[in-house]
Chains A and B, each alone.
Chain A
Amino acid sequence: MSTQPQQTRADAHIPSLLAGYDAGGYFCELTGAAHKPAQFAAPVRALLDPLDMRELRRRAKEAERELYNSGITFTVYTRKDVLDRVLPFDIIPRVIAKSVWHCVEQGVCQRVAVINAFLHDIYHDQNCIRDGVVPASLVTGNDNFREVMKGVDLPFNTYAHICGIDLVRDGKGNFRVLEDNARTPSGVSYVIENRHLMQRAFPDLMRNIGLRHVSNYGQMLHEKLSEVGPPNVRDPQVVVLTPGVYNSAFFEHVFLSREMGVPLVEGRDLVVRDDKVFMQTIKGLEPVHIIYRRIDDDFLDPLTFNPDSALGVPGIMRSYLKGNVTLANAVGTGVADDKAVYAYMPRLIEYYLGEKPILDNVDTYICSEAEGLEYTLDNLDKLVIKPVGGSGGYGVVIGPRASKRELDKTRKALMRQPENFISQPMIDLSVSPTLMPRGVEPRHVDLRPFAITGEKTWVLPGGLTRVALKKGSLVVNSSQGGGSKDTWVMEE
């Protein structure tokens, strides 16, 4: 059979994609350290490099259109009028070597283990306080400490069933923990959707490259959650509880319920009868046993917590405390991911597990301690100052980039309420090549691996890579102009 002859390109001298790329002295996820090219990523570079810019942009545009059409969007709380915005997606993947991932995975499991051990302890004997490892004020005085949880026993002592551990990579390429998320970490849907997007945009590149797959997250989640159901329930009914379509993460809630094949309920769909939870279906009330809830403790039950909550389910806490229903994550996990408690994590790992941390913290100064405060005030212009209990990147002050007025304001706030802050040195966040209007440029990235724990812990290979799209910016949050990338964990 005859075929059309291949066209030869007239413009054969288009520079390769990464030819002008300069990581600017930072550790690069694709090209490695300045004088030490990353061997593991060579096959990926070899695949990317021959693509010309026009082709790359064409594919990026297609992916963008697909995102828009699929309505994969998030809501920015400060702009209530804008319901839909697409989370920008960058099509150059972030690559992680097999051996590096192995270490990250171990480190995440260790972190999750210590979070659960800590939570069990603070709601039972409080040994960590008695032994002077953590000050009582950070535990029982914490806004997120829930008195009702004292003495409550949970299946396998698992509190944080779903955990997201935020990691950054320093100038030497070492991963460090920046933050723990033990309440309702979001973003896992992007991990899977980004992969699907890549598979459609680069079917040619992804063939034969050997990536760990991510598509079984829903199945694993359902499996792990089913392990922690109330005793004596054979075929437990799992549901996902969402605040509703106007929540910024509604798309993800839909994703979770679809991937698990379970109903996505709102508070108004649930009722409590005789301390048992049911959902209202067209056939009447049907029992619910495990709730992956994506609403905060405060809004869960107007009878126990915020009485004004219209999102929650009256009486659900009584059912929970009786062990008739499992909530994931457990109530009261917010103590463990507090930024102030974070500083104690390395000590807690030694205390509970008798191990050295596999993943180090970023150096952290606790401003409620005199030394920490003094150091912070003396080095304000060199440090990142973070409010404790804040989230979403609002209110973080980056000393070296702050104006004098901002620094003065921060100094005053620090002196007024030092216990509200921690500070950390600037980290040279690693970069990853990113497609920008002017070409492929380095942009800073972080990584949020996701861990699911029932009886044991399972970590999704890779995780969410967020990228700060603004040149030089270190803030990767989606609410502050961040985007995301597909994260490739190499098979070999």
Chain B
Amino acid sequence: MTSLLSRHAANIYWMGRYIERAENLARLLDVNETFSRNALGEQNWAAVLEIFSDQETFAAQHGAATTDAVIHFYTLDTANPNSIRAQLQAVRENARSLRPLISTEMWTQINTFHNRVAAKRRQDVTEAKLSGFCAMVKEGCQTHTGITEGTFVRDEAWFIYEAGRALERADQTTRLLDVKYHLLLPSVEDVGSRLDVSQWNALLRSAAGYHAFRRAYPHGMTPALVAEFMLIDRYFARSVRACLVRLGHRLDELERAYKIAPSSRTRAQLGALIRTLETESIDDVLGRGLHEFLDDIQDKLSRVSEEFALSFFPESA
């Protein structure tokens, strides 16, 4: 079998990242919508802009961060490269280049899914309809990953795709966790209040983690436990640590089965990041500031990604 073209390696990596990103953005918007119902008003939506560092871009194009405007910005706005629509477009463009490699079923689903979202008008995705829209996007993304799992040839491209998804999911989980930070800094008296608990609850549910959390921690729900769970739980599929460990396995497989070794720097940076997660105590992290900790992880992840790209597709890095 011929080896994977470097250009296609870049395409498959980014296809994996964008599909994961779209799914997580849908989760994040959904949970934010749940939060903003709690009478905190429209400023909640500005928090999403902060999480993605989009405040300036948004202000320049749309002015005030009204609920409607922010929702449109992150769902259908083609001018915003961080909208779900734009991300699905990127998935489709990468998939188009990958047509010679991916299954027809994968392509057809991506094309259909993209077209369905592209056909939505602004009035189809208002605050009231956001949850339904997000559910549709999540399902589309999951259908994609299911079809891919079931039809994609298990060659090096598969492992690069999986690596891209693992890395993106780790990054997105940090952002999901950050929503809570931005929306409501737990003050001493708030911690443990009904509102606080219901919000942590919603956060877990948005990551499909409520049940997994309950299994791990049958009693109680504190900010520390939820943060710990989402950051370093060994078994939760969306925890940052589990994603990074999975990324490490993909690198192992690429090296073992396909004799394609990532650079030693990729390995070193990933190793350091996993060690940090495994050794830090959650109380120290919260004490120093969760937001700062998450920011730092995001920085390090983007460096791992750059190294990964330089290792496997330097021409397209």
Contacts and interface: CB of A to CB of B under 8 A. Distances in A.
Are A and B bound to each other? yes
Interface of A: 68-71, 237, 240, 245, 250-251, 254, 257-258, 262-266, 268-269, 279-283, 286
Nearest to A196: B104
Contacts of A281: 2-6
Contacts of B93: 245
Contact of B108 (A69, A250, A251, A266): A69
A71 B97 CA distance: 13
Contact of A250 (B2, B96, B160, B312): B96
A282 B2 contact: no
A211 B143 CA distance: 37
Contact of B313 (A69, A254, A279, A282): A282
B229 interface: no
A164 B313 CA distance: 38
In the A-B complex, the 7 residue pairs with the smallest Cβ-Cβ separation, listed nearest first, are A281-B3, A254-B99, A264-B100, A71-B111, A257-B100, A283-B3, A280-B6
Interface string B265-309: 000000000000000000000000000000000000000000000
A485 to B, nearest CB: 22
Nearest to B113: A69
Nearest to A70: B108
B111 to A, nearest CB: 4
A81 to B, nearest CB: 13
B115 interface: yes
Of the listed residues A262, A264, A268, A282, the one surrounded by the most CB atoms of chain B closer than 10 A to its CB is A282
Interface centre among B2, B7, B97 (most CB of A within 10 A): B2
Contacts of A257: 100
Contacts of A251: 99
Given A68-B115, A71-B107, A268-B315, A282 B96 contact: no
A69 B115 CA distance: 8
Contacts of B160: 282
A70 B96 CA distance: 11
Nearest to B9: A282
9 contacts: A68-B115, A70-B104, A71-B111, A245-B97, A250-B96, A262-B2, A269-B7, A281-B5, A282-B5
B317 interface: no
A263 B8 CA distance: 10
B5 A269 contact: yes
A266 to B, nearest CB: 7
A238 B297 CA distance: 44
B112 interface: yes
Interface in B1-45: 2-7, 9
Given A245-B93, A282-B312, A283-B260, A254 B6 contact: no
Contact of B5 (A69, A71, A237, A263): A263
A282 B6 contact: yes
A258 B2 contact: no
A268 B156 CA distance: 21
Nearest to B316: A268
A184 to B, nearest CB: 18
Given A281-B4, A286-B2, 19 more contacts: A69-B111, A69-B115, A70-B104, A71-B108, A71-B111, A245-B96, A250-B96, A262-B2, A263-B5, A264-B100, A266-B7, A268-B315, A269-B6, A282-B4, A282-B5, A283-B3, A283-B258, A283-B259, A286-B3
Contacts of A268: 7, 315
Q: Which residue among A240, A265, A280 has the maximum number of chain B CB atoms within 10 Å of its CB?
A: A280
Contacts of B5: 263, 265, 269, 279-282
Size band of the interface chain B makes with A: 20 to 34
| Residue from B4, B99, B108, B111 with most neighbouring chain A CB atoms (10 Å) | B99
Interface string B83-99: 00000000001001101
A62 to B, nearest CB: 14
A262 B108 CA distance: 21
Contacts of A68: 115
B100 A254 contact: yes
B315 A263 contact: no
Residue of A237, A240, A254, A269 most packed against chain B (CB within 10 A): A254
A286 B6 CA distance: 11
Given A71-B111, A269-B6, A280 B96 contact: no
Contacts of B260: 282-283
A283 B5 CA distance: 9
A289 B259 CA distance: 24
A167 to B, nearest CB: 31
A70 B258 CA distance: 32
Interface in B139-160: 156, 160
A46 to B, nearest CB: 33
A268 B11 CA distance: 14
B108 A282 contact: no
B108 A258 contact: no
A197 to B, nearest CB: 13
A27 B96 CA distance: 41
A282 B3 contact: yes
Nearest to A283: B3
Contacts of A240: 100
B98 to A, nearest CB: 9
A258 B99 CA distance: 8
A380 B57 CA distance: 61
B100 A258 contact: yes
A189 to B, nearest CB: 12
A314 to B, nearest CB: 15
B304 to A, nearest CB: 18
Given A280-B315, A282-B260, A283-B259, A70 B4 contact: no
Contacts of B156: 282
Interface in B180-220: none
Contact of B100 (A69, A263, A280): A263
Contacts of B3: 281-283, 286
Nearest to A251: B99
A69 B112 contact: yes
Contacts of A258: 99-100
Contacts of B108: 69-71
A281 to B, nearest CB: 4
Nearest to B2: A263
Contacts of B99: 251, 254, 258, 264
Residue of B100, B104, B315 with highest tally of chain A CB at under 10 A: B100
Contacts of B259: 283
Contacts of A266: 7
A9 to B, nearest CB: 34
Contacts of B104: 70
A68 B112 CA distance: 8
A277 to B, nearest CB: 14
Contacts of A237: 2
A300 B126 CA distance: 51
A266 B316 CA distance: 13
Nearest to A253: B100
A268 B4 CA distance: 14
Contacts of B107: 70-71
A361 to B, nearest CB: 38
A266 B7 CA distance: 9
Contacts of A69: 108, 111-112, 115
Nearest to B6: A280
